[in-house]
Structure 1
């Protein structure tokens, strides 16, 4: 049985994948900004693209370097992105680069918006997850 790509990524960047309650506490406290660097490195993408994918303005990110903490909202966005990315990676047969390309490309069945542009909210992320599920099962809408 193959490992869950998100859990594997979470483990590589140091998130508590096996305990949701600890994860919730860490989200509320705010992750270290180093987590962004580590995540971008693990995905082999520029940090600027990761910030765009999780809807964090580079100027906000730069200001946070002083405290080395991100807000709980920003931490939640990173976790949400990782969850959606997991499903997109599965959809793309385990290829994280193809999953990221799919996330940033406009989707006809999302009014021409990219899936990535919708995942900054929970409702948008649920829509993207439903699209991934429909696509995986061959249901085109």
Structure 2
């Protein structure tokens, strides 16, 4: 499996968790559990992705601007996750803010899979893309231990 397939697998998981979260209500055990899963998944994914794929792309002038844009989107998502963590889950504002995060996540995924992957495939060999997938898994596991 190469890095692109690996990231798409995570993207599908994140979208599914977000969809399930949108179907919850109030300060329920289900909402708390799903949000903790979503948070751990999103944060560990973004950090591992930055340390593998984006670390390579940011070094090349041809992909640097797009890579920086994607990393800034990660930072925006991280800020929303932190705000959600501090909010009362039973408030109407919580689900509205989560919906904003979900929309931004979906935008980021489309942009990444369409634009970033295209750039990366022009710069990263197939062998390196496969190795990057292994590095991503290792980094993500390390990140999950700290989330």
Query: Could you say whether these structures have the same fold, taking a TM-score greater than 0.5 normalized by the shorter chain as the test?
Result: no
Larger radius of gyration: 2
- TM-score normalised to structure 1 length: 0.40
Structure with the bigger percentage of helix: 2
